[in-house]
Structure 1
Amino acid sequence: MGSHMPSFHQLIADTSHHWEILEDMAGRTEYCSPSCLALTGFGPEHFLGRTDVLTGLAHSASRGELDEFLTGLRNGPTNMSKSLELRIVTEDGLSRWVVCHARRVTSSDGRMFLRASLRDISRRKALDMELKSSRLRDPVTGLYNRAWCMETLQRQLKIHAPGTYFSVTVMDIDRLKKVNDTLGPAYGDEIIRMAAERIAATMAPPDSASRISGDGFALLFPGKSPREVIKHIKRIQALMAAPFDLRGHEVTITASAGIVVSPMPGDKPEDVLRNANIALRRAKANTHHRYKVFHSRMFIESSRQMEIEIDLDAGLRNAEFFLEYQPIVCLETKRLKSVEALLRWNHPRHGVMRPDEFLPVAEATDFIVPLGEWVLRRACADMVALMADHPELTDLSMSVNISARQLAQHNIAETVAEVLRETGMEPTRLKLELTETMAMENPALTAQRLHTIKALGVKISIDDFGTGYSSLSSLQNFPIDTIKVDKSFVGKMDTSAEQRKIVRSVISLAHSLDLDVVAEGIEMREQWSMLKVLDCQSGQGFLFSHPVDMAKLRTFICKASPQVKQ
């Protein structure tokens, strides 16, 4: 430095804790302060007269950025200054983080130099890394969290080349809500933690797992073929199906998964996770413990479902929903015994929609609760009006379907009581129907809710019986009055001896438990005749009447009995 800096300035540089360097514009070191020894393990003599000192010390991961930094300074304007954080390699081979503040300076004789001041920031970087690591970790499971997943997925999508393998899977725990409702949220968290351990046990770099939602996990598989990914997912599902020991409670769960194989170029992380979630919802649509691989058709269908979900609220506000009623008749006399309320939607763009087009969407959201209450209220009001015109129908009842979400509401009994009171409906004329599968989802909660409703005088019916895995004996804890035999059995009983056996067994067991039986989906006279022989009291189906509006129902009632041509 000598002739290029006054002795006072050199004294400051010599005694500074920072490593001070002065290079000419060719990169040759003219001055090096003694602090280099503490920072690098090399003394000043190691650097004086040498060129590209910083480049030689730089860690390979920082070299490219440093070259760009120095080139910018050397080619930039006079008095330009810049800063850079980089890693260097010390004499003993260790890596150390430094911050380099550099600027162009001019000596008294007009020569240009680069002056750099380097300070050790390794401790700060370690703390930063520790904080970042904790920020990117899920506190419950110890897995990476959603933020880490999104960052990593972003990097993977950037380097993913066409023709190479890369898959993303979203997996969640089936029926975790049942654990929370039965044992409490603390047990639910324990299930999530133990499930994460089982997932992590199957993962090895470069594969990774992160927790991205309450019971949702994202699994990234760079380099694995679709066949290998599916095999891996099946392995995790098998591990999940093994019982969990929760403080003495043995709990069995399952897991479902949605898989995206080879994301499209230009896809964003949120697009990939959205598509994986679409496939996951499809996997969980009808059952559990399954996986689905995403296809573009699913996105189109999901967009339609999203449109329906958005339109549901407007539909209720704009009175687009209406009810039709299907008669339930005495199979022996054809006398009208009951009517079942069936929901329809006159959509402003799609016309009258089938229930299976919008009810699953409503059921998957909380909107089924206000919609179901509207159905109950409308059906009860129509029943009261009907009885005012036909007081002779002394034993006529109204069947209304309720959903799982409705039944899960803690105030469901109060809601039913309020509707009965406001409409003036006699409780004994109302029959609430729930499916067999829904009843057995959480038997204890179902029984408690149904007993409370039953105390109002309302009757209870099990719909679609036979499609689940329960038996009539398992339903004895529920205060039910009626069993409805599913139409899938009734529709084949005239051609299948096996189906006739099933229908006969259900009717016989129902009678032994003093329950009424209604056969659904009667479309042929042969089915009607067989059901009468089997002593089935009631039935409904197109043979007697399609679902009709109130005006046509009144016409139906005005006949002495539903006339089926002989």
Structure 2
Amino acid sequence: MRSACDREGTAAGKGPEPDDLRLLQFLGWVVPLVFGFAALAGVAAAVFSDAGLLAAGVILLAYGGLLLVARRRVGIGGRGSAVWTICVGLLLAALLMSAVQPGWLAVLAITPLISVAVALPYVRGGDLLRLILLAWLTVVVMAVLSRTLRPLSEPPGWFSDVFAASALAAASAVVLLLLWQFSSRLNETLAQTRAAEERYALVERGVNDGLWDWDLRRDRIYYSSRWKEMLGYREDEIGAGPEEWFRRVHPEDRKRLLQEVGDHLRGRREHLNVEYRIRHRDGSYRWMLTRGLAVRDGEGNPVRMAGSQTDITRRKRAEEELLYEASHDALTGLPNRAFFMERLGEALRRARSEEGFRLAILFVDLDRFKMINDSLGHTIGDRLLVAAAGRLRECLRPQDTLARLGGDEFTVLLEDVSGEEAAAVADRLLERLRTPFYLDGYELFTAASVGVVLGGREYASPEDLLRDADIAMYRAKAVGGGRKGIFEAGMHTRAVELFRLENELRRAIERREFTTHYQPIISLKTGLISGFEALVRWRHPERGLVLPDEFIPVVEETGLILLLELSVMREACARLAAWQKRFPDHRPLTVSVNLSRNQLVRSELPEQIERTLLETGLDARSLRLEVTEGALMENVDSAVATLSRLRDMNIRVHIDDFGMGYSSLSVLHQLPIDALKVDRSFVGRMDGVGGDAEIVQTIVTLAHNLGLDVIAEGVEREEHLRQLRKLGCDYAQGFLFSEPLDAENAQRLISSYRRW
């Protein structure tokens, strides 16, 4: 018991605390009083030769000595032990006094109360209860002794009366002193409480948090004015019950909040720290952060818990916005790749756990988007992507996931579908995207290539599924676009081969493995060579000579076509310039170079060609540029602008593969072109049953009416040559005259001056 009280005493080496000063003040009054009564009893014992008074004097003198010991202990920081010395000593002295002077019971009975009164400010809990019990037992024993023992002596009655009255007066003075000290202590405590309340109120206003204090024994909670104000209520509109708090918490968060509170009260968590939503008076939910700490009794049981409530709605909204931005595309508002892959992973896990569950991925790529973006600008391109995303969304169910992976690529996740259902969705998307878009006065025609893959538990990862959908999409694009491609097992092997081919092509450009061959173009009026078409060939170190059909689609898709075509143009221009110098009498002598759709949309193309002509020394009038109908009609306005600049440089422009169904006759006369090249498929069927001679005749007539020359491709038989001359065709090329030749053999052909 003493060790517990000692911890409340003054620490050694520090100044006296207020409780020490009050105890010393008490001893300063009581010690002289005790010694005074001891002296009075001793003098009376000598005068009256009274053994009982002598014993009483000795008892008082001994107790006075104990009080001196107690005062010393207070001075060295042992306030707790000093209190016990005073109180227990007083009870013991009272017992001894009642034994030698049983008649003084009426006066001595007050001493146990004084003992408890002295201990009250300093002793707590069980120690105080034990002291009270000890005081009660002392009173009982004193009463028994007063009835059973005879006094040692009988001092004169007048002295006994005077002594008793004096003792009663002294005891009353001690009680009054203790009451005065208690009043002083109470006033100090009230002042400290008021100061604490003022600090509490100041802190509450300063931190702008709502405070709460939960009395767990009474199950009542104090909610501060700010706590109620945070929820839109006045002071008198919220009671003191826990239900005022918990019933307003969002149903999805309530169980978690109660769990956190319970864990803290049971000691499983050191602090309460939990975020949740709580209903405001206006019906909306606000995000709150609640922190709290439980106060426990001596046995560790929680008796009180207090804490604060902070409004974190703005922070939560900012976090949600950041999370949304991290998982969604800024332009279209659709989920992005990360979001899509997470959702796809969840669907795959479901497929592994549910028998018969199938899912499908649709990989959508907008055809000709790059051309629109490059020619009309990124603003129009962005608006087209937004509009396309809107159309795609219209074709899907609410439970389907539509995402933008980047650029003009979109993906769709269809869950719990069959292959037929997935194909039907792909058809709806294709049909919807074929309708023209009207943006800023432009009528834009685009389409899409859609790859479809159906999967389930056989797929190990989301990346594998997306890869196969991508492969299927590229398969659809490779056969012309504007359609869907269904993934088949062999496609992955083909994709790996294409990837290997792309790497080989990049190395081939670095190693200069590409070479230019020349196929002669014959004037049907003179029968002589009028020029050559420059055709690229790949001299593979292991496979030998590789024809364009095997690698041109890949170089176009990867963008390598830009470097390759400029390289071919430079070599062809340099070679023709050299031939013109070597064979000055062989006029005209021209070279035709193919331009892909990738080149045609580049605004810097005319400047690059002009630089090539200057560096190689070739006259611009000797250069012919061939563009396909498809590349020309993808964006007529942009193509016309580029080709017009080239014609202003005296470069002639030919439409290659004419008649394949892309051109619009209504705009043909507006195009800055000089010749039409009839596709080889028409020439090859001119002499068959139901042949295409009439089609070739129509093309020739149309071209001549527009002031254009006509060049027939794919001439392989003498009969074709006779018919073409009869139809009035201007030029022809094909295996009948020569296959494409390397530079050395082409020069030998020029030098032969052969006539057909």
TM (normalized to structure 2)?
A: 0.61
Q: 2:346 aligns with which of 155, 166, 169?
A: 155
Q: 1:330 to 1:247 in 2, by over 3 A?
A: closer
Aligned counterpart for 2:693 among listed residues 458, 479, 500: 500
- Counterpart Cα distance in 1 of 2:438 and 2:505: 42
Are positions 1:326 and 2:519 aligned together?
yes
**Aligned-partner Cα distance in 2 for 1:30–1:268:** 56
Amino acid at match of 1:411: E
Aligned to 1:419: 612
Deviates more, 1:523-532 or 1:439-448: 523-532
2:742 maps to 1:518: no
1:76-91 correspondence runs (5 A): none
Instruction: Give me the identity figure in percent.
Output: 34
Give 2:327's aligned residue.
Answer: 136
Q: How many residues align?
A: 544
1:320: how far off?
0.7
| Alignment counterpart, residue 379 of structure 1, candidates 572, 577, 590 | 572
Partner of 2:727: 534
* Displacement after TM superposition at 1:342 (Å): 0.7
What is the CA-CA distance between 1:130 and the residue it aligns to? 4.8
The alpha-carbon distance between structure 1 residues 65 and 281, as it changes in their structure 2 partners (threshold 3 A), is: farther
Deviation at 1:100, TM superposition (A): 9.3
CA contact (8 A) 1:86 1:99 kept: yes
Residues 285-332 of structure 1: per-residue CA shift (max 9 Å, x gap):
343431212234333333333333333333222111101111122346
Distance 2:537 2:443 in 1: 43
- The 1-side partners of 2:485 and 2:222 are apart by 61
CA deviation after TM superposition for structure 1 residue 531, in Å? 1.8
Deviation at 1:343, TM superposition (A): 0.3
Shift of residue 374, structure 1, vs aligned partner: 0.7
1:216 corresponds to which of 393, 399, 409: 409
Partner in structure 2 of residue 344 of structure 1: 537
> 1:20-419 counterparts in 2 under 5 A?
34=221, 123=313, 125=316, 128-161=319-352, 163-177=356-370, 179-180=372-373, 184-247=377-440, 249-262=442-455, 265-331=458-524, 334-419=527-612
1:454 aligned onto 2:454: no
The structural deviation recorded for 1:148 is 2.3
**More strand as a share of residues:** 1
Supply the distance in 1 between the matched residues of 2:390 and 2:220 (Cα, whole angstroms): 53
Is residue 79–residue 104 contact of structure 1 (8 Å, CA) maintained in 2?
A: no
- Partners of 1:85 and 1:97 within 8 A in 2: no
Q: CA contact under 8 A between 1:79 and 1:103: conserved in structure 2?
A: no
CA gap 1:348/1:159 in 2 versus in 1, 3 angstroms: farther
Conserved 8 A contact 1:435-1:462: yes
In 1, Cα distance between equivalents of 2:319 and 2:388: 30
Given that residues 253 and 277 in structure 2 are in contact (C-alpha distance below 8 angstroms), is that contact kept between their aligned partners in structure 1? Answer: no
Contact between 1:323 and 1:379, CA under 8 Å: does it hold in 2? Answer: yes
CA, structure 1 residues 442+109, in 2 after alignment: closer, same or farther (shift >3 Å)? closer
User: 1:148 and 1:541, CA in 2 relative to 1: closer, same or farther beyond 3 A?
Assistant: same
Residues in 1 aligned to 2:715 and 2:427: alpha-carbon distance in whole angstroms: 41
Q: Which amino acid aligns with 2:469?
A: A
Deviation by residue 1:348-399 (Cα, 9 ceiling, x = unmatched)? 4543322122212222233222211110111111112223332231212111
CA drift at 1:20: 9.7
d(CA) in 2 for partners of 1:265, 1:329: 59
Question: Which amino acid in the other structure matches residue 150 of structure 1?
Answer: M
Structure 2 equivalent of residue 25 of structure 1: none
> Alpha-carbon deviation of 1:283?
2.1
Q: Match for 1:363: what amino acid?
A: E
Tell me which of 615, 624, 628 is aligned to 1:431: 624
Q: Look up the equivalent residue of 2:705 and give its one-letter code.
A: S
Which residue of structure 1 aligns with residue 21 of structure 2? none
For structure 1, the residue ranges without an aligned partner over 5 or more in a row are 5-11, 23-28, 47-53
Considering only aligned residues, what root-mean-square deviation do their CA atoms show, in Å?
4.5
Per-residue deviation, 1:266: 4.9
In 1, Cα distance between the equivalents of 2:307 and 2:691?
89
Residue 471 of structure 1 deviates from its aligned partner by: 5.0
Q: Structure 2: which 5+ residue stretches go unaligned?
A: 1-124, 127-199, 229-237
- CA offset at residue 117 of structure 1? 8.9
Q: Distance in 1 between matches of 2:217 and 2:492?
A: 65
Amino acid at match of 1:482: A
Confirm or deny: 8 A CA contact 2:459 2:465 kept in the other structure: no
Mapped partners of 1:321, 1:83: distance in 2 = 73
Contact 1:324–1:342 (8 Å) recurs in 2: yes
Amino acid at match of 1:407: L
3-state DSSP of counterpart to 1:212: strand
Q: Is the 8 A contact 2:357 2:456 kept in 1?
A: no
Alpha-carbon shift at residue 527 of structure 1 (Å): 2.0
| Cα pair distance change 1:207/1:110, threshold 3 Å | closer
Q: TM-score, with normalisation over the residues of structure 1?
A: 0.79
Q: CA deviation at 1:213?
A: 2.0
Change (3 A) 1:182 1:111: closer
Following TM superposition, by how much is the alpha carbon of 1:144 offset from its aligned partner in structure 2, in angstroms? 2.8
User: Are residues 1:555 and 2:748 paired?
Assistant: yes
Contact 1:58 1:87 in 2 (8 A): yes
Matches of 2:377 and 2:345 in 1, distance apart?
37
Contact 2:289–2:312 at 8 Å: present in 1 too? no
SS of the residue 1:171 aligns to: strand
1:467-486 aligned at under 5 Å gives the runs: 467-471=660-664, 474-486=667-679
Equivalent position SS for 1:197? helix
State the Cα distance separating 1:489 from its structure 2 match. Answer: 1.0
Give the Cα separation in 2 of the matches to 1:239 and 1:284: 18
- How far off is 1:557 after superposition? 2.6
Q: Which has the larger displacement, 369-378 or 121-130? A: 121-130
One-letter code aligned to 1:232: V
Secondary structure of 1:544 counterpart: coil
Go from structure 1 to structure 2 and tell me whether the alpha carbon gap of 1:249 and 1:385 turns closer, same or farther (over 3 Å shift): closer
Q: Is the 8 A contact 2:359 2:416 kept in 1?
A: yes
Query: Per the alignment, do residues 355 and 31 of structure 1 end up closer, same or farther by CA in structure 2, a change over 3 Å counting?
Result: farther
**For each residue in 1:74-124, what CA deviation from the matched residue of structure 2 results, as whole angstroms up to 9, or x when unmatched?**
9xxx9986998687999xxx9998889999999967999xx9999788745
Whole-angstrom CA distance in 2 between matches of 1:350 and 1:85? 69
Shifted more, 330-339 versus 494-503: the winner is 330-339
**Residue type of the partner of 1:285?**
A
Post-superposition offset of 1:401: 1.0
CA positional deviation for 1:234: 2.1
Contact 1:81–1:101, Cα closer than 8 Å, also in 2: no
2: distance between equivalents of 1:70 and 1:522? 91
Please give the per-residue CA displacement for 1:56-85, whole angstroms capped at 9, x wherever unaligned: x997899899999999x99xxx99869986
Q: Is the 8 A contact 1:89 1:95 kept in 2?
A: yes
Q: 1: distance between equivalents of 2:576 and 2:499?
A: 34
Partner of 1:49: none
Range 126-135 or range 361-370, more displaced: 126-135
